[in-house]
């Protein structure tokens, strides 16, 4: 027997519709809540904000500075031949970390 195909991930529109039905809000109200959440997260992880935000106990989003890396010799994993890996400049990246509540969903 073959396994049933995995269900597709919900679209943003489907998620808004599901949340609207569950909360008795309109889809426009749900969309505005997500817009406000997006702006809040943006303010928290921006250069003027603290650089970290905890999203409802589900995940932590933080701004992380990565140092520059020099050019170096490496090895092509497919062929095994040596190759030069380009240098990368210093940069700021966004990282997210799932918290206990989110991890418990998959247990």
Counting the structural domains of the chain, the total is: 2
Question: Which tokens in the block code for residue 86?
Answer: 């380009």
Is 4 inside a domain boundary?
no
- Note whether 107 and 70 are same-domain residues: yes
State the pLDDT at residue 7.
82
Is 3 inside a domain boundary?
no
Spatial contact of 68 and 89, defined as CB atoms under 8 Å apart: yes
Per-residue pLDDT for 87 more than 50? Answer: yes
- Note whether 75 and 105 are same-domain residues: yes
- Note whether 100 and 73 are same-domain residues: yes
State the pLDDT at residue 3.
61
6-46 pLDDT tens trace: 688 889 999 999 999 999 999 999 999 999 999 999 999 99
- Note whether 46 and 72 are same-domain residues: no
Per-residue pLDDT for 4 more than 70? Answer: no
Contacts of 72 (CB under 8 A, 6+ apart): 84, 85
State the pLDDT at residue 11.
93
State the pLDDT at residue 75.
96
Spatial contact of 99 and 56, defined as CB atoms under 8 Å apart: no
Is 56 inside a domain boundary?
no
- Note whether 74 and 105 are same-domain residues: yes
Provide the b/e sequence for 80-106 (b: ≥16 CB within 10 Å).
Answer: eeeeeeeeeeeeeeeeeeeeeeeeeee
59-71 pLDDT tens trace: 999 999 999 999 9
The range of the structural domain enclosing residue 41 comes to 11-50
């Amino acid at each position: 027997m073959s396994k049933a195909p995995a269900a597709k991930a919900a679209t943003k529109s489907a998620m808004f519709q599901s949340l609207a039905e569950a909360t008795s809000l309109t889809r426009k109200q749900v969309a505005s809540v997500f817009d406000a959440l997006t702006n809040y997260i943006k303010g928290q992880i921006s250069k003027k904000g603290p650089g970290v935000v905890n999203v409802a106990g589900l995940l932590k989003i933080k701004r992380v500075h990565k140092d520059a890396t020099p050019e170096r010799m490496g090895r092509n994993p497919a062929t095994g031949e040596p190759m030069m890996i380009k240098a990368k400049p210093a940069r700021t990246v966004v990282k997210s970390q799932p918290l206990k509540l989110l991890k418990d969903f998959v247990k």
